[in-house]
Amino acid sequence: MKKNIYTLIFISFFSLKSVAQTMGLIQHDSGAIDNGYVLFSPIGSTKTYLIDKCGKEVKEWNSAYRPGQAVYLLPDGNLLRAGNANNTTFISGGQGGVIEKIDWSGNVLWSYSISSNSECQHHDIKPLPNGNVLAIVWDNKSNSAAVAEGRDPSWLSTSLWSEKIIELQPIGADSANIVWEWHVWDHLVQEYDSTKNNFGIVGLHPELLNINFPGIGLANFDWLHMNSVDYNPQLDQILLSSHNFNEIWVIDHSTTTAQASSHSGGNSGKGGDLLYRWGNPQTYNNGLMTDKKLFGQHNAKWITPGLPFEGSIMIFNNGAGRPAGNFSSIDIITTPVNTQGEYNQSLPYLPSVLTWTYEAPTPTDFYSSNISGAQIFENGNLLICAGAKGTFFEIDSSKNTVWNYINPIGATGAMTQGSTPSQNQCFRAEFYPMDFSGFAGYSLIAGLPLEINPLPYTCELDTAIEIINGNTKLNSDLNSFSIYPIPADDFFILRFNNFNLDNSEIKIYDLSGREIFIPLAISNSGIQFDSKSLFSGIYFIFILSEGKISRSKFVIAE
């Protein structure tokens, strides 16, 4: 995939009062970054934003809901977004309750509610190749039901929230078929009370979950607190992250729902039992505190084929409570799995060492206590979202920071450049390359930065490089048109060489991304623009024609 190249130029004027760059685009190393677009939905906002690597808004979607929490662009260009329905029973971090599909124009195509006194979607969702959606759902259990399954009564408060994973097949505008589901409640073990269900030796059953593992707080009703779900189509398996167990789990998706509730069936022959777990062997009585690897982790996911470390699992290890101090890392592990999806059963589960890890040169300089995520690119770069601070940054394969952006959207909307960012948390940030299929047919033209009163700067695109395939692409043939004179003064002329102007659209923007409207006239030599009203400086011209976008810059003389 060819890349486009940006040059970042910050411009200062002695006549302007000096303002610190506290948000928006902080760093942009031309040629080192992997260009494309970044999607995010600030936790305090009902809006979802798509920005380019220059920190300028390309697209915005509105919703009636704040995020709950994940958001994705689909290959068809639609937005899949979880929303916070403000459920009054399941009051906890990551609360959701509704899943929406929104088209490019902002129309809600599908909205499905999973929010009641007995259940509530939360944290993450995952679009599947077949068009269905996986969702993490809290599953409320009464104290009497928990005691019957072997929960120690002294570790109960008002109720106990279990977890389930459901697969939804969207139907119409507001309905869905639940075509598959898996429940933690069907895969428990306990050695507290031999007269209750699930009694057994915890250390001999790593495929089951100890209902009396304390996690975070003995009487915490949010006992497991799952926070991410991922799917591996090659293995037909699901990857889950449990914050309170400090573990990741793999389960078999090839089962029927009936098999998923049992201990047999599916490709694994193990039904819905855990196929693999990693991060904290204390949870199944096969390790000590010193064996713990994960600390409140988020965003566990398989690295897809074709990317560096393909087939491995990448985890945002938040790092709360590390023995060496609170700091975050991005950890990659290579699981002991064969091509049939079978895991080596030696205990504790391997690996004992990481395949790769990133932490800051001074580890405590990089710490996000909750939420957050990471994503690897073809060139080995990583986009990292330190969600608690609303900061997105990119590192190269040598672990150097090459791009840095601070979300300028807080709980009350856009913040003013120079102020201290606050309440700008983001669950995750998702990167989409220039040739992502969901962009086909749409014009992605950058507008203004999101923050109020942005500092004047330009982030220039090298138009000599093709960036988008499919129905919409940047025309890399700079000979398709020319501009003269350079620099221009009272007028400039746009001359075309073998360029079809039928059904074409011409747009002109200034450095801030604001569209400029000026008089024009068509002559034999081309299109003449009256530029007397323009201030001196750099401008950009876009020509949209036949599914292509051509772009260049021109200068108005002083």
With vertex at residue 306, the alpha carbon angle to CA 301 and CA 309, rounded to the nearest 5 degrees, is 55
Find, among 294, 305, 187, the residue nearest to 242 by Cα: 294
Cβ–Cβ < 8 Å for 509, 58 = no
Q: What is the pLDDT of residues 251-267, one digit of tens each?
A: 999 999 999 999 999 99
The whole-number pLDDT of residue 487 equals 76
* Structural domain count of the chain: 1
Given the structure tokens 């989409």, which residue do they identify? Answer: 432
Lowest mean pLDDT among 109-113, 448-452, 463-467: 463-467
**Is 487 part of any domain?**
yes
- DSSP percent split of the chain into helix, strand, coil, nearest 5: 5, 40, 50
Find, among 227, 237, 222, 243, the residue nearest to 272 by Cα: 237
In 103-236, beta strands by DSSP E: 108-113, 119-127, 133-141, 160-171, 175-183, 188-189, 209-210, 226-232
Q: In angstroms, rounded to a whole number, what is the distance separating the alpha carbons of residues 159 and 145?
A: 9
**Is 131 part of any domain?**
no
Give me the domain span that covers residue 490.
Answer: 475-556
The whole-number pLDDT of residue 53 equals 94
Between residues 79 and 492, the one the model is more confident about: 79
The whole-number pLDDT of residue 405 equals 98
**Is 173 part of any domain?**
no
Cβ–Cβ < 8 Å for 125, 166 = no
Global pTM reads 0.83
Domain CATH number, residue 518: 2.60.40.10
Residue-wise DSSP of 487-538: SBSSEEEEEESS---TT-EEEEE-TTS-EE---EEEETTEEEEE-TTSPSEE
**Is 483 part of any domain?**
yes
**Is 505 part of any domain?**
yes
Beta carbons within 8 Å of 546's beta carbon, 6+ residues apart: 500, 503, 504
Lowest mean pLDDT among 29-38, 51-60, 463-472, 520-529: 463-472
Lowest mean pLDDT among 210-219, 328-337, 405-414, 455-464: 455-464
Q: pLDDT exceeding 70 applies to what percent of the chain?
A: 87
**Is 522 part of any domain?**
yes
Query: For residue 25, what are its two tokens?
Result: 């685009």
Q: What is the pLDDT of residues 486-526, one digit of tens each?
A: 777 787 777 766 555 566 778 787 655 567 778 777 766 67
What band does 165 get if pLDDT is binned at 50, 70 and 90?
very high
**Is 85 part of any domain?**
no
Beta carbons within 8 Å of 273's beta carbon, 6+ residues apart: 187, 207, 208, 251, 263
Q: Is 178 helix (H, G, I), strand (E, B) or coil?
A: strand
Q: What is the pLDDT of residues 458-492, one digit of tens each?
A: 675 433 323 222 233 334 343 456 777 777 778 77
**Is 550 part of any domain?**
yes
The whole-number pLDDT of residue 497 equals 62
